Amino acid sequence: MTTDKKSVLDYVPAARRDFLKRLLAGAAFAAPVIATFSIDALSNSAYAAGITKPVNTTLTLTAPNTVGNQACAADAGYDGPLTFQAHVTSRFTLLPAVQAGHRVNGEVTLHLSAVGTGISSVNEITGIVSMVSGATITGGSITVGGRAATANLVITGGAFSITNANVTPAVCDLDELADMMASGEATITIDGIYQGSPYNVSGPITGLLSLPTV
């Protein structure tokens, strides 16, 4: 914990200061995630997901990373591509101010590790980010339907790993995230620094179908 973090923590209410201090100590900078959902929607899957809503209506969250914002049916596993790719770049727009910004781009390759035969279950998604020369990477995230599907994604040396611990309430689990990726509904965003200022690039994730063995 640096001196800077201590001074920043002075703004945090005492009751939450130690918690946030521990949270920040182990966290790299990533895109802020704010996921909102209704209690009614949660109620449909609350017990399966680990949420209980006691009589006094105080929410108790026992497993925040695996809580879905939708009714999560019984996990049917995943059947689809195991390798994905995304080209990340600045959003194209005719707004002059955007075009004056960095023109940074790169490639992200993702690979699913699955267990089981036939219909399998995804237990890890690994990725490699390759950006144009001179662009450093500070973080990234995957979004589904405009909502963050990953949290606390740490990219080290251009590589990252997503497990069920990194999945936000926007999706049920890694199987669901993989399904969204295979359906072309997932977008990956990479944050970083180029020439001393931040950049933010993104692109749709597309599956690479493997040819059948003959």
Residue list 100-129, contact with another protein (CB under 8 A): 100-101
Give whichever of 35 and 119 is closer to another protein, judged by the CB atom: 35
- Residue 42 vs 182, nearer CB to another protein: 42
Residue 180: both structure tokens together:
């969204």
Report the C-alpha gap between 112 and 138 in whole angstroms.
Answer: 23
Take residue 119 and report the two structure tokens written for it: 């219909």
- What number of chain residues touch another protein (CB under 8 A)? 58
Q: Which residue, 85 or 152, has its beta carbon nearer to another protein?
A: 152
B/e letters for 56-87, b = 16+ CB within 10 Å, e = fewer, are eeeeeeeeebbbbbeebeeeeebebbbebbbe
Residue in 47, 73, 79, 99 binding another protein, rule: CB under 8 A: 99
Identify which of residues 8 and 159 has a Cβ nearer to another protein in the complex: 8
Q: Which of 125, 176, 173 is nearest to 153 (CA)?
A: 125
Contact residue for another protein among 117, 133, 156, 197 (CB under 8 A): 197
Nearest approach, Cβ of residue 183 and another protein (Å)? 23
**In which region does residue 114 sit, left (phi positive, over 0), alpha (psi from -120 to 50) or beta (all else)?**
beta
Closest approach of Cβ 9 to another protein, in Å?
8
Report, in Å, the least distance between residue 35 CB and another protein. 4
Question: At 85, which helix (H) or strand (E)?
Answer: strand 83-89
| Binder among 61, 128, 132, 154 for another protein (CB under 8 A) | 61
Q: To which residue do tokens 């295979």 refer?
A: 182
The DSSP code for 50 is T
34 is a site residue for another protein (CB under 8 A) = yes
Q: Please give the backbone phi and psi of residue 192, each rounded to the nearest 5 degrees, phi first.
A: -175, -170
Stretch that binds another protein, among 30-38, 80-88, 123-131, 174-182 (CB under 8 A): 30-38
Residues in a beta bridge with 124: 113
The residue ranges that bind another protein (CB under 8 A) are 2, 4-5, 7-8, 11-13, 16, 19-20, 23-24, 27-40, 42, 57-61, 63-65, 93-101, 138, 148, 151-152, 165, 168-169, 191, 193, 196-198, 200
